[in-house]
A and B are shown apart, each in its own frame.
Chain A
Amino acid sequence: MGQPNKDNDLVLDIAGLSIVSLHQHGAQPLLKGLTLRLRRGEILGLIGESGAGKSTLGLAALGYQRTGCKYDKGVVRFDNLLLHSGDEKTLSSLRGVRMAYVAQSAAAAFNPVHRLGAQITEAARCQAALSRREAERRMVSLFRRFDLPEPERFGDRFPHQASGGQLQRAMIVMAMLCEPQLIVFDEPTTALDVTTQIEVLATIKRNIRAHSATSALYITHDLAVVAQVADRIMVLKDGMLVEENDTKALLTKPQRPYTKELLSVYQVGRKRGGGKKKGRGVLLRGEGLDASYGDGARILEDVSFGVSEYEVLGVVGESGSGKSTLARVVTGLLPSREGSLWLGGEVLPRRLKRRSKEQLRRVQLVSQIPDTALNPRQKIGEALGRPLSYFFPQRTQAERERRLGELLSSCELDSRLTNAFPAELSGGQKQRVCIARALAAEPDIIVCDEITSALDRLIAKGIVNLMLELQEKLGMAYIFISHDLGLVRAISDDMMVMQGGKILSYGAASGIEKSEDAYTQKLLRSVPQMRVGWLDEVLQKRG
């Protein structure tokens, strides 16, 4: 063991840490000599896109490496204990007691067949850190502080009896039970809706920041979120540090271009293309649409809307709002029970089978997860070539080849990709291929169902900009479905807010602030803003 640390305030001291992932083809570096210091009572934000190594770093701070990852060199010192060389027994006596971890998906992290209370107090009881009675007493008092319903009896519930936000808070209770010196939060709000995210963020902010004995690492890809809770932020990219600074300084005076890019992800906008192309009549219209899966409950209730040519209709809602079901009804994948659809004046049959080839061509869908939207056994050339030959059989081979090249270049893809399988492409490239596939049909309207939510923010921004450029050039209409209200508001002409299968507000996107609907207002307030103090303001307003 090295010399005792002079700085007694230092809880975590990581120096020159390198971790590699083991592959068949040799080792690949995940972390390249990272240095990190965390003082007592401090919250340090780790931010970066997927593959930046932030989760690897967070787990290394607990002396843990995922399977397939291997410690290479460097020092991880936790309160004068060397974690990188610690034996498993020492490490597990620390975990859950003196350090704790909050995972991204609490819903997946809790065992569904055990009661929450038993799981929350398990680590403390196993390590004999607390007596059973003491552990339960603390748990209940934390439940109360975290505003969980029925704090005395909440521990008797099973995971499925609590909501996603409640489970995430229960997981924080589990982490804080033994009052650890270090908590690692790994994307604790990423899987949550924005309105739920606020509650969890508020819990973290109120309880961890007030608790001076506990330090935390807060890992996320969302700069606006981390800005609300962290004292200091480290920006990571490809396993290396890009920039490190106090939260305020980093937000107001970013030094490195990459940080500036990350800061700009919320700034998407649209050049409103003048009135000349717009308003040439309604292209797609839906009236009184009702839908349900099987004989189950209604997922859509009396939904009516209209999209004009060269218009973007934004659809916003949280999970379970029925927004994706709307996409399925419009495209015909799920025939509506009631109501009707019109496409350019003619009735659009509810069932896919009844629609003509021409109608199918005119309405295209781009879906959420590009990995599953492309057949893994079809080369890109075939995925794009099939709609060309299917919808336009009269064209010659040479014309199709030319069109394929056009499609690739208009979606900013390399023409050599035609011979690649989807697995060889990055997530952003795959989504571009999906867009190109929709364009191949030369549609009048494209339904975009959460096309950016599976992508990193910077890549998502590139995709949105591409969609807007394409619209400028080709003049089709979009139905843009997303949970991201900020994004939808920035790019839509009209927008509608949905909850529980109903439309709550519908009108010009620029006038959405004036909506009288309470839920719409709540949603508007819940969108994180890229500045310090936004969360405090929201919480204050709520009282």
Chain B
Amino acid sequence: MPSLRNTGRQARLLLRSMSTLTRTSVGVLCLILLLLLVGPSLSPYSYSAPVGDVWEGMSWQHPLGTDVLGRDMLTRIMKGGRLTVMLAFLATLLGFLLGTFFGFMSALVGRWVDILLSRIVEIIMAFPSLILALIVLALIDVSKGILIVIIAVLDSTRVYRLSRSLAQDIVVMPYVETARLRGEKLGWLMRREILPNVLPPMLAEFGLRFGFAILFLSALSFLGLGIQPPEADWGSMVKENALSLPVALVPAAAIALTTICVNIIVDWLLARAARVRSATPEV
């Protein structure tokens, strides 16, 4: 199939346009995701039952040692990472859907809709997001769904600002006016006229926010307001093992490695989007 071959060639070209650092990051991130996906089912140990002594060092049986209750660290890292990455991804996705929708709407409709939405967003942004999340989580029972929604809403404020300012440059273009003259509805204007034109910077922002969401979720769990035992994510694992620094560093390193890789890839995406934009002739 020619389209498949084309995709393959494009992927090769894309890889070649990256620096070694970016390529390494892509490789490491893929490896992490693969481990999270299949790792837990390949592991001989249960993630919840003790299999050895408390805080055993690294060994062939337990490559990353054991944790505060003597559970296998590697298995828990893989299992907990699955939860961290999945929740962060869903939260970012929801945040983007919300932020982009309202951002585009603000730019398209303008007037009081824009004023109202922008003021609401500013009010939310006026609170430090961690403190706001802590207040909300202290008031209601924590569940994964609630966690996703809270992170998504806090994230969406940043997405709103970005998508609104990007869309404001697009809505004044004659091609959007032409579509309006045709009588096109808001949905078409958002999906077909604006979205394709702002996709590269939005994708880069998605990566960035995903990295932040991992950190945010980990922070909440570390403070005990995120994922609750018996379930575990990277943040709560840092907390459990906080009394032994070397052990606590293992989940912390997982958090750092993942977010750094994501950030490097985002940097490359952003630079690429900027190059594409400066290469298009100015009118």
Contact = CB atoms under 8 A, between A and B. Distances in A.
Interface of A: 331-333, 352, 355, 357, 360, 364-365, 367-369, 371-378, 386-387, 390-391, 423, 437, 441
A372 B175 contact: yes
Given A367-B174, A423-B280, A375 B193 contact: yes
A333 B283 contact: no
B183 A357 contact: yes
Contacts of A441: 182
A360 B182 contact: yes
Given A368-B174, A371-B283, 15 more contacts: A332-B181, A333-B177, A333-B180, A367-B177, A367-B178, A371-B281, A372-B174, A372-B175, A372-B283, A373-B175, A374-B175, A375-B193, A375-B196, A386-B192, A391-B182
Most buried by B among A331, A364, A377, A386: A377
Nearest to A376: B197
B49 interface: no
A371 B174 CA distance: 9
27 contacts: A331-B181, A332-B181, A333-B177, A333-B180, A333-B181, A352-B181, A352-B183, A360-B182, A365-B177, A365-B181, A367-B177, A368-B174, A369-B174, A369-B283, A371-B283, A372-B174, A373-B175, A374-B175, A375-B196, A375-B197, A376-B197, A377-B196, A377-B197, A378-B196, A386-B182, A390-B183, A391-B182
B138 interface: no
Contacts of B196: 375, 377-378
Contacts of A386: 179, 182, 192
B192 A378 contact: yes
A376 B282 CA distance: 13
A332 B196 CA distance: 26
Given A369-B174, A375-B175, A377-B196, A360 B283 contact: no
B131 interface: no
A365 B178 contact: yes
Interface of B: 173-184, 192-193, 196-197, 280-281, 283
Contacts of B173: 372, 375
B175 A352 contact: no
A386 B192 CA distance: 11
Nearest to A423: B280
Contacts of A364: 181
A387 B175 contact: no
B163 to A, nearest CB: 16
**Smallest CB-CB A-B distances: 5 pairs:** A377-B196, A373-B174, A375-B175, A367-B174, A360-B183
A352 B177 CA distance: 11
Most buried by A among B176, B180, B193, B281: B180
A486 B179 CA distance: 32
A387 B183 CA distance: 10
Contacts of A355: 183
A367 B174 CA distance: 7
A481 B142 CA distance: 64
Contacts of A367: 174, 177-178
A297 to B, nearest CB: 21
Given A372-B174, A372-B175, A387 B182 contact: yes
Given A369-B283, A375-B196, A437 B184 contact: no
A360 B181 contact: yes
Contacts of B177: 333, 365, 367
A331 B183 CA distance: 11
Nearest to B281: A371
Contacts of A372: 173-175, 283
Contacts of A373: 174-175, 178
Contacts of B281: 371
A333 B179 CA distance: 11
A231 to B, nearest CB: 35
A365 B183 CA distance: 13
Nearest to A391: B182
A351 to B, nearest CB: 12
